[in-house]
Chains A and B, each alone.
Chain A
């Protein structure tokens, strides 16, 4: 039964994982890299992806899941096209990140850990993003947004919340 349930890795994924395997003395040593590679292609790590990676690395799916679930930036649930990482560490907290979170929730209609119905955004809390002189900050996809305010949130997420945003 397992063969059909294990989604095959694509050639591109296998090539990228094998390039990482060249640096490590044991196949399981590339576990995190492999998870990141597959996540980059598929957006998240499904159970099927997990099993396929585990098989390629000659390790058990349970062991790989223990690694995948340890790391905050490996997603074991689907996420939107862009992940919002809102810094909630101490300087951003002093500068009002909680109020900003409420504002984002109002604008996009999602709380922490949730994805907009149009699948554009997932909102997640993030530890200190290393830009404390520009607090409060967040990342949206690959972009860092600094010195956030309620006004700047309106510009970053225009007309958001009811689908078909941007």
Chain B
């Protein structure tokens, strides 16, 4: 087992970010220099494919495969743009890993983006970042300017015939912008409505041109893989998944935080060794493994490996890898209600199951909390889960994602839902906190 932590190797105890000089002194931009000299875009693509890197935004799609759909044989021309977009719109409830990566090592992301853009031969790159991430935005702007000064960005990078422009787009809010086609709509200045696929963005994305959208953490991995090789990366994982993962824990644990660990680290180890176990006086009832749109898992799942396939087989998703812990003093109905209200509010409004279905779900959950629940509400919620949760019924994955904590909440905490109806309201939160 390797203790290599490539993503956080430059993260200092005081979290102050290395500047260009410090980043370079620690081996930064060597991957870029090496690639520009001797690796073709096809070579880079093969390395990423061989590495088995999977998208760290939550879906876990193989990055190399995603990139392989970008057309590489188009005739060059003034309008023949290709785009690489970094999705830095971190808004999944309970997720706080990309903020850390950008605030503590901005150049790592930029170097990864330059190499990724080179691989797909993109000539323009965007960082789509949420407006609240002001510290990260300032650092990235500075890093981009420093890269221009060094010849890492701009025309003829390091004397090669490859050129790349990089821009930052500050979002104007809305969770749906994290969905890659909605993000593209937002970058085009429109309402962030997701688009039907196909065509996939790799073929027809921003302004109808080939476009790749990748998460911050995914892109931060790229230069390490190009530099150290696919085998090195594959060996970092403890299971069949490759690399390390930024895992996080929030909720009533002793030491909430975010740590880079080998992918496949058992849930229990993350919870107990890193998050320090539950706060005194609290016990765990369940957890969402990777953000607000993942299904609850419970005690019996604590010894599972946190990787895409293992968590998937257990009926949930690893998602963003940042866990939210439900403790025994928090109402599971209120917890789910908070999430469903979030998703209802963040619906783009395009399709009916999401626009009208999610507020309905939220209303039923609110009724339960406030003592207006009726026995038939249990059937209503189950029906909503099947109507709204079926991917085929909605325009994008937002509403099905919203149903994941509800469906699994009904499964694991059914007695709490029923007791809310029987006892006429919520018996947690004596202070009326809901």
Q: Which residues of A contact B (CB under 8 A)?
A: 23-25, 28-33, 35-36, 66-67, 70-74, 85, 88-91, 93-94, 96, 98-99, 126-135, 139, 142, 144
**In the complex, which of the residues B90, B93, B292, B431 contacts A99, with contact meaning CB atoms closer than 8 Å?**
B431
Contact indicator B342/A89 (Cβ below 8 Å): yes
Contact indicator A135/B250 (Cβ below 8 Å): yes
Residues in A with CB closer than 8 Å to B189 are 24, 28-33, 67
Stretch at the interface among B7-15, B146-154, B156-164, B167-175: B167-175
Instruction: Give a binary string over B391-434; 1 marks a CB under 8 Å from any A CB, 0 the rest.
Output: 00000000000000000000000000000000000000001011
| Chain A residue at minimal CB-CB distance from B257 | A133
Q: What would be 5 A-B contacts, judged by CB atoms less than 8 Å apart?
A: A31-B190, A36-B170, A90-B93, A132-B250, A132-B256
Q: From residue 123 to 147 of chain B, which have CB atoms closer than 8 A to chain A? A: 124, 130-134
Contact indicator A32/B172 (Cβ below 8 Å): yes
Max chain A Cβ within 10 angstroms of own Cβ: one of B95, B132, B335: B132
Minimum CB–CB distance for B216 against chain A, Å: 11
Residues in B with CB closer than 8 Å to A130 are 90-91, 95-96, 98-99, 130, 132-133
Minimum CB–CB distance for A145 against chain B, Å: 12
- For residue B248, CB closer than 8 A to chain A, the reply is yes
- Known contacts A70-B192, A71-B173, A98-B433: A128-B335 contact under CB 8 Å: no
Q: Which residues of B contact A (CB under 8 A)?
A: 79, 90-96, 98-99, 124, 130-134, 167, 169-175, 186, 188-192, 207, 248-252, 256-258, 292, 322, 324, 327, 330, 334-335, 338-339, 342, 345-346, 348, 431, 433-434
| Chain B residue at minimal CB-CB distance from A69 | B191
Minimum CB–CB distance for B188 against chain A, Å: 5
Contact indicator A71/B132 (Cβ below 8 Å): no
Minimum CB–CB distance for A166 against chain B, Å: 21
Contact indicator B96/A132 (Cβ below 8 Å): yes
- Known contacts A71-B173, A127-B175, A133-B248: A90-B99 contact under CB 8 Å: no
| Chain A residue at minimal CB-CB distance from B165 | A23
What is the CA–CA distance of A44 and B172 in the complex, to the nearest angstrom?
Answer: 13
Residues in A with CB closer than 8 Å to B434 are 98
Residues in A with CB closer than 8 Å to B173 are 71-74
What is the CA–CA distance of A32 and B177 in the complex, to the nearest angstrom?
Answer: 13
Minimum CB–CB distance for A131 against chain B, Å: 6
What is the CA–CA distance of A28 and B134 in the complex, to the nearest angstrom?
Answer: 26
Contact indicator B172/A131 (Cβ below 8 Å): no
**In the complex, which of the residues B186, B190, B249, B292 contacts A89, with contact meaning CB atoms closer than 8 Å?**
B292
Minimum CB–CB distance for B319 against chain A, Å: 13
Minimum CB–CB distance for A55 against chain B, Å: 16
- Known contacts A128-B94, A129-B132: A90-B256 contact under CB 8 Å: no
Q: Which 8 A-B pairs have the closest CB atoms?
A: A72-B173, A71-B172, A132-B250, A31-B189, A133-B256, A73-B173, A89-B93, A91-B250
**In the complex, which of the residues B192, B258, B324, B342 contacts A127, with contact meaning CB atoms closer than 8 Å?**
B342
Residues in B with CB closer than 8 Å to A98 are 433-434
Contact indicator B207/A36 (Cβ below 8 Å): no
Contact indicator A128/B433 (Cβ below 8 Å): no
Contact indicator A133/B191 (Cβ below 8 Å): no
Contact indicator A133/B250 (Cβ below 8 Å): yes
| Chain A residue at minimal CB-CB distance from B288 | A90
Contact indicator A128/B92 (Cβ below 8 Å): yes
| Chain B residue at minimal CB-CB distance from A137 | B96
What is the CA–CA distance of A50 and B339 in the complex, to the nearest angstrom?
Answer: 33
Minimum CB–CB distance for A124 against chain B, Å: 10
| Chain A residue at minimal CB-CB distance from B291 | A128
Residues in A with CB closer than 8 Å to B96 are 130-133
What is the CA–CA distance of A94 and B252 in the complex, to the nearest angstrom?
Answer: 8
**In the complex, which of the residues B175, B186, B327 contacts A94, with contact meaning CB atoms closer than 8 Å?**
B327
Contact indicator A127/B93 (Cβ below 8 Å): yes
Contact indicator A91/B91 (Cβ below 8 Å): no
Contact indicator A36/B342 (Cβ below 8 Å): no
Minimum CB–CB distance for A22 against chain B, Å: 10
Residues in B with CB closer than 8 Å to A33 are 169, 189
Minimum CB–CB distance for B279 against chain A, Å: 11
Residues in A with CB closer than 8 Å to B334 are 93
Contact indicator B172/A35 (Cβ below 8 Å): yes
Residues in B with CB closer than 8 Å to A73 are 131, 171-173
Minimum CB–CB distance for B134 against chain A, Å: 5
Residues in A with CB closer than 8 Å to B132 are 85, 126, 129-130, 139, 144
What is the CA–CA distance of A25 and B252 in the complex, to the nearest angstrom?
Answer: 49
| Chain A residue at minimal CB-CB distance from B258 | A133
What is the CA–CA distance of A133 and B97 in the complex, to the nearest angstrom?
Answer: 10
Contact indicator B248/A132 (Cβ below 8 Å): yes
| Chain A residue at minimal CB-CB distance from B345 | A127
Contact indicator A90/B338 (Cβ below 8 Å): yes
Contact indicator B94/A132 (Cβ below 8 Å): yes
Max chain B Cβ within 10 angstroms of own Cβ: one of A36, A66, A74: A36
What is the CA–CA distance of A24 and B167 in the complex, to the nearest angstrom?
Answer: 12
Contact indicator B191/A90 (Cβ below 8 Å): no
What is the CA–CA distance of A36 and B189 in the complex, to the nearest angstrom?
Answer: 11
Residues in B with CB closer than 8 Å to A23 are 124, 167
Minimum CB–CB distance for B106 against chain A, Å: 16
Max chain A Cβ within 10 angstroms of own Cβ: one of B93, B131, B346: B93
